[in-house]
């Protein structure tokens, strides 16, 4: 297993529709283990293969504390609507509000080629699993959550202090163009809230 470099917004692979997996070989199983390890290292809720530069229809995700895998996933049912905050390992230091289906049924295959079905919605028990699978499926289609963001909700996450001197996260409104420009220039806003792992990916030489 290996921790793979996470691709940052602006990388063309993130805007490409991923290819279906026709056979689950050793290469796919190794990729899945690498996705799991990389997701854990980045403290992510989900991770799609294109986010590590592999254009295949595979992603990992969490239901509570358990990690699951879907290959060639497809949502067969959507019900209701919720609006919640989302972030992305490939768009670090940023969040926005996004409308998603409240309840989804998603099918696919696991790493052993077995057909699986998940019925998911966000809850205390499952965490953000319902939102996560919709977010990760977007990645496989070359779509990014900020393209679906509710108006005027896209913001940098800035480390700040409240009146008591306690740490808190402040929101600094931004546009997609400003964020992409920062990534391409490899210069993040001062005190942006981002893991050291992802900071190195953005500011790498």
Q: What is the pLDDT of residue 165?
A: 82
Pairing of strands 155-161, 167-173: antiparallel
The label of the residue with tokens 């220039």 reads 185
Mean pLDDT of 73-78: 98
Q: What is the pLDDT of residue 80?
A: 98
DSSP per residue over 20-50, as a string?
PPS---HHHHHHHHHHHHHHHHTT-SEEEGG
Nearest to 76 by CA among 123, 139, 118: 118
Mean pLDDT of 48-66: 97
Q: Could you confirm whether 159 is annotated as catalytic?
A: no
Q: How far apart are CA 99 and CA 84, in angstroms?
A: 7
Neighbours of 202 (CB within 10 A): 21
Mean pLDDT of 187-192: 94
pLDDT band per the 50, 70, 90 thresholds, residue 59: very high
Q: What is the pLDDT of residue 58?
A: 98
Which of 28, 86, 111, 136 is the catalytic position? Answer: 136
Instruction: Work out the burial of residue 57: count CB atoms within 10 Å of its CB; fewer than 13 is exposed, 13-18 middle, 19 or more buried.
Output: buried
Phi, psi of 126 (to 5 degrees): -95, -5
Q: What is the pLDDT of residue 8?
A: 97
The label of the residue with tokens 């229809």 reads 57
Token readout for 81 is 């609507």
**Structural domains present in the chain:** 12-145 (3.90.45.10)
Q: Is residue 205's pLDDT more than 60?
A: no
DSSP 8-state code for residue 195: -
Q: Check if the beta carbon of residue 96 is closer than 8 Å to that of residue 153.
A: yes
pTM: 0.94
Q: What is the pLDDT of residue 29?
A: 96
- Residues of the chain with pLDDT > 70: what percent? 100
Mean pLDDT of 171-178: 96
Neighbours of 147 (CB within 10 A): 11
The pLDDT mean for the chain works out to: 95
Query: What is the per-residue pLDDT across 119-135, written as a single tens digit (0 to 9) for each?
Result: 999 999 999 999 999 99
Q: Check if the beta carbon of residue 13 is closer than 8 Å to that of residue 50.
A: yes
Query: What is the per-residue pLDDT across 142-171, written as a single tens digit (0 to 9) for each?
Result: 999 999 999 999 999 999 988 888 899 999
């Amino acid at each position: 297993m290996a921790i793979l470099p996470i691709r940052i917004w602006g990388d063309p692979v993130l805007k490409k529709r991923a290819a279906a997996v026709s056979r689950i070989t050793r290469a796919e199983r190794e990729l899945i283990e690498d996705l799991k390890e990389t997701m854990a290292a980045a403290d992510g809720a989900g991770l799609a293969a294109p986010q590590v530069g592999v254009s295949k229809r595979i992603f990992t995700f969490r239901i509570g504390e358990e990690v699951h895998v879907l290959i060639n996933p497809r949502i067969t049912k959507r019900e209701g609507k919720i609006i919640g905050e989302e972030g992305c390992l490939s768009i670090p230091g940023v969040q926005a509000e996004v409308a998603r289906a409240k309840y989804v049924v998603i099918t696919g295959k696991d790493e052993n080629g077995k057909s699986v079905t998940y019925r998911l919605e966000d809850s205390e028990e499952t965490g953000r699993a319902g939102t996560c699978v919709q977010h990760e499926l977007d990645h496989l289609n070359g779509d990014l959550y900020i393209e679906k963001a509710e108006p005027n909700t896209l913001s940098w996450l800035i480390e700040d202090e409240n009146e008591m001197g306690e740490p808190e996260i402040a929101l600094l409104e931004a546009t997609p163009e400003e964020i992409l420009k920062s990534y391409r220039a490899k210069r993040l806003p001062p005190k942006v809230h981002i893991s050291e792992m992802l900071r190195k990916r953005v500011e790498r030489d």
